[in-house]
Structure 1
């Protein structure tokens, strides 16, 4: 549907029709019998997943035991395949005779069991690919069985009667019947009646004390023209201000941080103290929670849910405003997991939602065929002067005002970083967000920055040009970078 490339910026955008897959999520209001059926289907999915994990790993342990007795590889127990067709074929063969499923498997839709088997096949595929080094991120472990008290209640329907009722307040799902929705479904219903949308699947899930249904829909979407397609904007995320926006025309905007969790923290502490004073569950002695504890816990969870909804709403509004206006957006690849290890900033960083902002900016840009540039994690956006390009060796987090030692520029730290990110869009060579120094072939080091922080020699307080602080001019810095090209670590912007 979308074309990618540097030609997207500065081109006359023409509306194009295409098919995209997106989700529509609605809250449900099931009655008692329907909620029991929903829990039964989700439990069936968990049971099928646990059976598949046990069935596949049983052959692994059997082969390991046989090998310990000196049995040859040709005589070991054959490997059991974990593809979805193989798991489904074996499950259909044993479900009527296995005592774990014989008495109740007919009570649920076959889609419930297919959900568990599909999740198991995906888990084994991820484990295999991670072990072979084909996946990024930390190593994925062997799939394990899901505990009843920890497993997320979810089930996916791909075939059968999946329908949005014409009244806009009910949905129909296989074996569950017609379920009332907590909110109207006219937005999706209008697209279906107009013939511009087609439901592919439906997923029910229990979250924060409420049931939800998500419809995966293939729909037609027009590529809309942004207000300023030729303008690039740098987005610097922070805590004091949620985002500082600096575009290529010199305009600066500060987006305030709503701090929804801080506003609800006083009431949340009160609710948590009340929950702790009441008799809660204890698995060690088999004690069940009291009704007063369950009531207090529901009220506390409701407050958590409200804060999460407010945060989601604020992030969506911010990212939508940015993507509707600018053709190119430059964001940073922040190490959010590392920032959360800072005990003084973890709560505020988590409340800001840095990772979600970047994710939404990316996929909303793809909807409009716009470009997203992701600056490398080591790009010194805060330590680089947006006026002359000089790079500071150190800039502690407590210093909120940037002062350049070369040109004397004094500017807010976040505003300076946002300007540098906006300028980075000009060096981007592809639509995927790769950027580099055009003057240094083979080396991608914008403005001479590298992973390692530069250290000044003891007793040397002036640079080559005689200025204080050991600063160098941009041209001299590029010459030194060329000389150190073989000795410094090279990084890329992607």
Structure 2
């Protein structure tokens, strides 16, 4: 599939609407999503079969041209091979005509992308964690989704229905006026549509090429530093000295008591068991649906809150500075994992990235090793250590005392003005910290220029003097002990 390149002045964005399908339409939606999963499993098995065959032949002593040829995993190759077997393969012969060809193309495209990611990860050409070999999708665990790129895809003028290939016209749960009026005015064009079942209902997402007017933030010359946290979801500090605290709604913690009560109710009733073939009781299905309803409500509230925060930030400031947080590593902390996941750090950065571009601003990402919390925003001194429980920053050099998160946000805001220069601290943009024998990056203690100058004038820096005094005190204590 050729990647779409938007024209100048156009952006590609998504419009998502909830659907209210009837029984027949819901059955057709599930059939299309099942067809996509079946095509994906066929592609994974078809490509992997040649790999296992070659491995078996190598164990027999065969080599070179005697081995079975590799089967390609590109989308055109998979589509050609699938079209040759879909009429004769007993897994598809009886029902493949019931669904749109886009359903099978969805599964084949996902398989091609999975094999491509696996090959790039094995060659070291892909960032992130190592990607394993693609595996078959389970009927009970796979997400229901199907993508349509050709055929009749439109939003009806009544703003209450959408039309999709082979599925026909489906009623929407909400009005589609935001998209329909753009299409009617000629400022939007639908590229493709994706139907997905999540949070207990069906959704359709339209990928649309939209013409957006040029916008400018309310304060285009002001940079803001955004420090994310658990107690306060975000602390904003701009270059003019204003500091704003955004409280954490903590939607999951608010609903935790109700979720525990509903989970106990579910566990006390007869649930499904695939090992014994036990089917769930009606009372279990009712209790599970009630519990899922609370989970869906929490997810919707979180999504709404994050969109409101990021929209307000991108519409006001011209430059937004955020941290490059290791969210995956932070989630390994069992004491904070639940609160970090509830805050949605990664989603905030993702939304800020594209919303600032829409509004004419820019996003700067501070280096992951930039010590924003350990650096004094008043004099620039850097602490060697700052435990997590210390919520107030106290500078040992200038005596500054302020909130830890506010100090970090001020340092991030100042980083935007000094993006071309560095303070010499490990992790600064452009700074080169020594790494003897592959040592980890750690914060190096630095002092303000006046302190450093005074230390050089005396022949030694202030930290070395303190280390010498500590050694002298230790020796005096040892002498007294021996006496």
Per the normalisation by structure 2, the TM-score is 0.88
CA distance in 2, matches of 1:420, 1:126: 37
**1:301-340 to 2 correspondence within 5 Å?**
301-340=292-331
Residue 371 of structure 1 corresponds to which residue in structure 2? 362
Mapped contact 1:389–1:447 kept (Cα < 8 A): no
CA distance in 2, matches of 1:475, 1:446: 23
Question: Shift of the alpha carbon at 1:337?
Answer: 1.6
**1:1-40 to 2 correspondence within 5 Å?**
18-40=9-31
Q: Give 3-state SS (helix, strand or coil) of 1:222's partner.
A: coil
Mapped contact 1:275–1:297 kept (Cα < 8 A): yes
Residue 68 of structure 1 corresponds to which residue in structure 2? 59
Residue 394 of structure 1 corresponds to which residue in structure 2? 385
**Residues 363 and 446 of structure 1: is their aligned pair in 2 closer, same or farther, counting only changes over 3 Å?**
farther
Q: Give 3-state SS (helix, strand or coil) of 1:357's partner.
A: helix
Residue 283 of structure 1 corresponds to which residue in structure 2? 274
Q: Which runs of 5+ in 2 are unaligned?
A: 1-6, 461-483
Mapped contact 2:216–2:361 kept (Cα < 8 A): no
Question: Shift of the alpha carbon at 1:336?
Answer: 1.3
Question: Shift of the alpha carbon at 1:439?
Answer: 12
Per the normalisation by structure 1, the TM-score is 0.86
Deviations 1:103-149 (A, max 9, x none): 00011111101111111111111111111111001111111111101
Q: Give 3-state SS (helix, strand or coil) of 2:73's partner.
A: coil
Residue 187 of structure 1 corresponds to which residue in structure 2? 178
Residue 451 of structure 1 corresponds to which residue in structure 2? 441
**Residues 148 and 439 of structure 1: is their aligned pair in 2 closer, same or farther, counting only changes over 3 Å?**
closer
Mapped contact 2:259–2:291 kept (Cα < 8 A): yes
CA distance in 1, matches of 2:139, 2:248: 39
Question: Shift of the alpha carbon at 1:170?
Answer: 0.7
CA distance in 1, matches of 2:429, 2:294: 51
Deviations 1:335-391 (A, max 9, x none): 112221222211111111111111111111111231211111111111111000000
1:134 aligns with 2:103: no
Residue 159 of structure 1 corresponds to which residue in structure 2? 150
CA distance in 2, matches of 1:373, 1:263: 33
Question: Shift of the alpha carbon at 1:437?
Answer: 4.7
**Residues 439 and 106 of structure 1: is their aligned pair in 2 closer, same or farther, counting only changes over 3 Å?**
closer
**1:80-119 to 2 correspondence within 5 Å?**
80-119=71-110
Q: How many residues align?
A: 446
Mapped contact 2:217–2:360 kept (Cα < 8 A): no
Mapped contact 1:437–1:447 kept (Cα < 8 A): no
Mapped contact 1:17–1:221 kept (Cα < 8 A): no
**1:85-484 to 2 correspondence within 5 Å?**
85-429=76-420, 436-437=422-423, 444-445=430-431, 451-453=441-443, 472-474=447-449
Question: Shift of the alpha carbon at 1:436?
Answer: 3.8
Q: Give 3-state SS (helix, strand or coil) of 1:235's partner.
A: strand
Mapped contact 1:17–1:223 kept (Cα < 8 A): no
Question: Shift of the alpha carbon at 1:62?
Answer: 0.8
CA distance in 2, matches of 1:36, 1:383: 57
Mapped contact 2:190–2:206 kept (Cα < 8 A): yes
CA distance in 1, matches of 2:422, 2:286: 57
Q: Give 3-state SS (helix, strand or coil) of 1:279's partner.
A: coil
Residue 478 of structure 2 corresponds to which residue in structure 1? none
Deviations 1:398-425 (A, max 9, x none): 1111111111111111111111110000
Deviations 1:416-444 (A, max 9, x none): 11111100001224xxxxx645999x983
Residue 8 of structure 1 corresponds to which residue in structure 2? none
CA distance in 1, matches of 2:156, 2:418: 52
